[in-house]
Chains A and B, each alone.
Chain A
Amino acid sequence: MHRRQIAIGLVYACLCAGRIPLQAQDFKLFDRTVQIHGFVSQGFVYTSDNNWLTMNTSQGSAAFTEMALNASTQVTDKFRAGAQVYDRNLGQLGQYHPSLDWAVADYRFKTWFGVRAGKVKTTLGLFNDTQDEDFLRPFALLPQSVYPTDLRAATIAHVGGDIYGNVSLLRHLGDLSYTVFAGHRSDSIYSGYPYLYVAVRNDLQ
């Protein structure tokens, strides 16, 4: 009868039907090359039973759109700066409200020591900082227990800074990269708990 209520196994197909990584464009600004990059990605999600991630996936949902546009420049050999605007619509999350994804000034003193500051992508786990870009994800969507996309705004970046570097180990043992970060994370009202709160409050009213 209503086996759906206990059937929580999801079968979903998420097709990246369209993905348009824009070609790099550079131009000169004050004798420095500024690179512009962007992408648009369109997905499709279908689950056999339950709806998922606020999408109407049991009937198939294409409300899975991501896009970003960034500009960056290498000011000197050691200093670079850039920023990216990110926009998404995932079911009812995001709702095409663009947000500042990152805006970073980065000074690399040495290979083994550099400092980034601004709104910095948070290095956490393997894919936290690259989870937005579907061409960098190993799957159509990352495991939601580890990289919850509905909490994206609260996990993706912090306003603060990183200390990072790359240390060469003894020969043939490869390199060791490290990142130490500190900062403040803010949530968005278009996703995560703030969205949940607003949605529930509206329902209650």
Chain B
Amino acid sequence: MTSVFPCALGSEIKVIANSSVKTDVISKREIKRIFLEENSSLDDGSHAQPVLEKDGSVHEAFLREFMGRTDDDLQSFYRALVFTGRGSLPKQLNSDAEVVAYVARTTGAIGYVSSETSTEGVKTLAIAQEGNDSQRRLISRIEPDYPETLRRLNIGGTVRLEIIISAKGSVENVQLLGGIQSWPRLPQMPLSAGSIAAAIRAQRRKSSFPSTRIASWLFPCSRYLRARIIPALGADRHLSVPFGLCFYSNLTEAAGPLGICRLLSDGVLIPDVMRYLPADLIHFVQRLGKKRQPARALRDKLERPPGTLRMLFIP
């Protein structure tokens, strides 16, 4: 299982690459393969060659973190490759500055430097962590905002989006699969598919980091969502996530405007489970509508949803 969050590697070192390396993300396993010369190219086909430091704390940290062997072992390994004709001796340099300079001018070079080193002219690769959920962290979070007009008018709807999330966690592509037309109770769709798409595009233009609204809605969600989505990301670097963002306002008679406002201001994100579990959702919204049961208390109570009630929360 590979998570997609670029993680600090104990924040001691960072892995850098020549700009000819296409990928932005590299797994520990791939790094090991490159440095043990089992491969001369990355999974994406671009040429790669390792660059090491001769000694020092950065080198030690790298060996500990990625190679799991001592410097002596590694040197013996390289010598065995060289003198049996199975590989060559990788470049070994004296300092971070030399590594950066060499990586910058050498096609396919991949090296490592201290995390404080300036890496001008080279790219820093994010490390895909393998199988460690505790190291996942939220990249950015933007609270969903519900248009004031719609809120006042008590209008909601469903928009279905297909979101491609890169292994780095950024939103690569957002495609609209459909609007609210599928919802028979609302003759008009105020949140049209076009307007949502425009909003997303605008947001992406504004932000330097492409992981904006959609990703931030997805990733801080509950463990449930992570458990469902992240393993799939590990298997394949890109994943289509058919996912509905739903604002059910006038869903049932019991759900008054007050309940809906609270629902949204608490940042509760409800997936499109209507088709499968309508009774549960209606039940939830009905209870939310009761003034005696404030939303926060209800949310706390539902952190572990009973039975088949599948709700997602933004904490």
Cα of A111 to Cα of B83 in the assembled complex, Å: 20
Besides A35-B82, A70-B83, 12 other A-B contacts (C-beta < 8 A)? A74-B88, A80-B87, A84-B83, A102-B85, A104-B85, A108-B40, A111-B38, A129-B80, A130-B80, A130-B84, A132-B83, A171-B131
What does the 1/0 interface line of B72-83 toward A look like (CB < 8 Å)? 000010011011
Q: Is the CB of B40 within 8 A of A133?
A: no
B151 on interface, CB distance cutoff 8 Å: no
Q: Chain B contacts of A171 at CB under 8 A?
A: 130-131
Q: Chain B contacts of A148 at CB under 8 A?
A: none
Instruction: Give the number of chain A interface residues (Cβ < 8 Å).
Output: 34
Contact A24:B89 (CB < 8 A) given known A111-B33, A136-B76: yes
Q: Chain B contacts of A21 at CB under 8 A?
A: 79
Cα of A103 to Cα of B29 in the assembled complex, Å: 31
Q: Chain A contacts of B283 at CB under 8 A?
A: none
| CB-based nearest B residue for A123 | B84
B39 on interface, CB distance cutoff 8 Å: yes
B86 on interface, CB distance cutoff 8 Å: yes
A152 on interface, CB distance cutoff 8 Å: no
Measured CB to CB, the closest approach of chain A to B34, in angstroms, equals 11
| CB-based nearest B residue for A21 | B79
Contact A37:B83 (CB < 8 A) given known A135-B76, A171-B131: yes
A90 on interface, CB distance cutoff 8 Å: no
Contact A35:B89 (CB < 8 A) given known A133-B79, A136-B76, A136-B79: yes
A97 on interface, CB distance cutoff 8 Å: no
Contact of B85 among A24, A72, A111, A133 (CB under 8 A): A72
A87 on interface, CB distance cutoff 8 Å: no
| Interface set of A (CB-CB < 8 Å, partner B) | 21, 24, 33, 35, 37, 39, 68, 70, 72-74, 77-78, 80, 82-84, 102-104, 106, 108, 111, 120-121, 129-130, 132-133, 135-136, 166, 168, 171
| CB-based nearest A residue for B46 | A77
Q: Chain A contacts of B76 at CB under 8 A?
A: 135-136
Q: Is the CB of A121 within 8 A of B79?
A: no
Cα of A39 to Cα of B79 in the assembled complex, Å: 11
B115 on interface, CB distance cutoff 8 Å: no
Q: Is the CB of A77 within 8 A of B40?
A: yes
Q: Chain A contacts of B79 at CB under 8 A?
A: 21, 133, 135-136
Contact of A102 among B39, B84, B131 (CB under 8 A): B84
Cα of A72 to Cα of B131 in the assembled complex, Å: 38
Q: Is the CB of B83 within 8 A of A130?
A: yes
Cα of A135 to Cα of B29 in the assembled complex, Å: 28
Q: Is the CB of B40 within 8 A of A78?
A: yes
| Residue with the greatest number of chain A CB neighbours at <10 A, chosen from B86, B130, B131 | B86
